Amino acid sequence: MLVFLGSLVLSLPCYADAAIQRDSSRSATPAEQIQTEHWHVSLSLGLGVMTNPLNGGSNLPLVVVPEIAYYGEQWFFDNGRLGYSFHESAQHVFNLVSEFNPETRFFVDLHPSNIFALQSSVSSTVDLTTELDISNKFISTKEIDKRKWALDAGLSYHYINEQHVFSVQTLADISGVYKGYRSALQWQAHQQVGSMHLKSSLGVWFKSAQLNDYFYGLSAAETQLEEIQVGSGWQPYAKIDARWPLSNANALRFHLAYYDYSAVKDSPLFEHTYSVTVFIGFDHIF
């Protein structure tokens, strides 16, 4: 079965806004250079998977993965992220950004973080032990209430130093779904190794107790015992995206991303404490 899915994930999964992309294009091939007032569309065809760490959650096969972006002079759309750049210089970029919260991707299939999948701990918890030891009881996503989509918005800042980009962002729920926030730090390096274009990212999210409790906590009705709260926590991640150009419009592509969920491992929803996205295939730029 051909699956048209892809995160997310970036994606601080991506940070591919117009200013950073234009700066990076100094060493890019003609097919990669960014033009404003122009749609940028590419399609990756191959084999891959995005693993779901939750009990009862299905892994997402990645066969056809699109990337869609549009950059105006200040407004931009980048793989599900809508933003406005209100200050831009050679080294400093400040953006206002909005996107659907990516946590919902583990509960639904048609989420922007699943469609645009190839974007490039301390926890404050409550005592989860009861007489029936519900912390050891695994609960499936099929047994709980539906987690709603949430719209987040906030500010992002990027410092650009040659082929290195240091980023920070803070986004808060503006839809009133979970009434929390998330913040992140990220380092990204753009490298040329022979003919290969390599983009490496290391980062960490801080997610508020309200966010983690809404998506990964459980109500008393869901546990049939008592409410479970998982509290705030840190989520490290790492990503590698490599492209070997075959022509101006075609390339071989390899993508690997690792997201750590150890900070919320006390939630009975988790079967694994990590999620991995891996993909290998061909990339075509239209």
pLDDT digits (tens, 9 = 90+) for 174-196: 999 999 999 999 999 999 999 99
For the ranges 126-130, 148-152, 178-182, which has the lowest average pLDDT? 126-130
DSSP state of 146: P
Per-residue pLDDT at 117:
44
- The answer to whether 149 and 230 are in contact (CB under 8 A) is no
In three-state form (DSSP H/G/I as H, E/B as E, the rest C), the secondary structure along 238-276 is EEEEEEEECCCCEEEEEEEEEEECHHHCCCCCECCCEEE
Q: What is the mean pLDDT of the chain?
A: 82
Residue 16 has pLDDT above 70, yes or no: no
Alpha helical stretches, state H, 13-72: 18-24
Residue 162: which region, alpha, beta or left (left: phi > 0; alpha: psi -120 to 50)? Answer: left
34 pLDDT tier (thresholds 50, 70, 90):
low
From CA 255, how far away is CA 47, in angstroms rounded? 11
129 pLDDT tier (thresholds 50, 70, 90):
very low
Helix (H, G, I), strand (E, B) or coil at 2: coil
- The answer to whether 261 and 235 are in contact (CB under 8 A) is yes
Which residues are CB-neighbours of 136 under 8 A, at least 6 positions away?
Answer: none
Query: Domains of the chain by range and CATH?
Result: 18-285 (2.40.160.40)
Residue 15 has pLDDT above 60, yes or no: no
Residue 114 has pLDDT above 80, yes or no: no
From CA 108, how far away is CA 82, in angstroms rounded? 21
From CA 231, how far away is CA 213, in angstroms rounded? 6
Joined tokens for residue 176: 């009133």
From CA 178, how far away is CA 116, in angstroms rounded? 23
Per-residue pLDDT at 102:
93
Per-residue pLDDT at 118:
52
From CA 119, how far away is CA 133, in angstroms rounded? 39
Residue 218 has pLDDT above 60, yes or no: yes
| Mean pLDDT value across residues 265-270 | 90
Residue 150 has pLDDT above 70, yes or no: yes
From CA 206, how far away is CA 232, in angstroms rounded? 7
108 pLDDT tier (thresholds 50, 70, 90):
confident
Which residues are CB-neighbours of 200 under 8 A, at least 6 positions away?
Answer: 188, 189, 191, 238, 239, 240, 241
Per-residue pLDDT at 32:
43
